[in-house]
Structure formats: C-alpha cells, structure tokens
Amino acid sequence: MNAYEQYMKEVSQPMRDELIHAGFEELTTPEAVDNFIGETKGTSLVVVNSVCGCAAGLARPAIRESLSNEKKPEQLVTVFAGQDREATARMRDYFEGIEPSSPSVALLKDGQVVHFVPREDIEDHDIEEIVANLTNAYNEYC
C-alpha cells in the first residue's frame, strides 16, 4: 500500500465506523457482494458510502436517523466508493439501469432495487427530507 492509499484508509475509517456502529456490515470485495445478493431474502438497505461532505453532513446522519423508524430493512450493508472500488462496482452492477452515484442509498427486496436515493436527492436537501424519503420507502416495502 502506497502512502496515498494508507492516508485515505486512515481518513475514511471514521466514515466507515459511523455506519458499522449503526449496524451496517461492510462488503469490501466483489465476492462478498455476490454472496450477499445471492443469499439475502427480504429487505436490505445498501449504502454507497463516500468521503464527500454531503455523505458526512447529510447522508450518514439521515440514514442513521431513518433506522429509528418502526419499519426498517432487515439487513444493512455498505460499500465504500473510491476505497473498495471492486466491491462498489459489483454492487452497482446489481443496480440495473441506475447511474452510479455516491453517496447513494438503495432499498432492495430479495436482491432487487425497489427504491433508490441518488446523490442529487441527498445534496442540497436537509436531513429531515432524506429521512422522510427513506422512511416512506421502509413503510411501503418493509
């Protein structure tokens, strides 16, 4: 690992930890993504995490808050754009017809995307709007 990769790993670790501490499992390899999609039934929340400001100030706080909803996804997983590139690319392969976006949030039911929140629905929105977007989807699909 070169100095840049080491630096980015250190910088991104608190951003990873924020979701891990909220109950998310990190998927760091394409194989882990394939296993998750192939074996998971029911509802899953997939967060495409990133180091950008809107992930830190909006996406992660809103995602954590949304999980206090009565109805919520059964599984919580995350991939990290720009860090775990192969895992992120593989997860995006399962988001058929959806442009890559980070940060972003996908609600899956039996491995199929039923609701997607791209960066454009995170950036320039307030936390309450993002929470409402997610909890409305949970109430419909979970």
Crossing angle between the packed helical segments 85-94 and 30-39, to the nearest 10 degrees: 30
Q: How far apart are CA 91 and CA 38, in angstroms?
A: 12
Q: What is the share, in percent, of the chain residues with pLDDT greater than 90? A: 87
What digits encode the pLDDT tens for the residues 63-119? 999 999 999 999 999 999 989 999 999 999 999 999 999 999 999 999 999 999 999
Whether 52 sits among the annotated catalytic residues: the reply is yes
Please say if the pLDDT value at position 1 is more than 90: no
> Does 128 fall in a domain?
yes
Q: Domain range spanning residue 89? A: 17-141
> Does 12 fall in a domain?
no
Whether 142 sits among the annotated catalytic residues: the reply is no
> Does 135 fall in a domain?
yes
Question: Rg of the Cα trace of the chain?
Answer: 14
What digits encode the pLDDT tens for the residues 14-63? 999 999 999 999 999 999 999 999 999 999 999 999 998 889 999 999 99
Catalytic residue among 54, 108, 130, 137: 54
122: domain CATH number?
Answer: 3.40.30.10
pLDDT band at 4 (very low <50, low <70, confident <90, very high): confident
pLDDT band at 9 (very low <50, low <70, confident <90, very high): confident
Higher pLDDT, residue 7 or 138? 138
Tally the C-alpha atoms within 13 A of residue 71's C-alpha that lie toward its C-beta: 13
Catalytic residue among 15, 52, 79, 117: 52
> Does 3 fall in a domain?
no
Structure tokens that stand for 61 in this block: 């706080």
Q: What is the pTM of this model?
A: 0.95
Estimate the share of the chain in helix, then strand, then coil, as percent rounded to the nearest 5. 50, 20, 30
User: Three-state SS for 124?
Assistant: coil
- Cis previous bond, 103, omega within 30: yes
> Does 9 fall in a domain?
no
> Does 27 fall in a domain?
yes
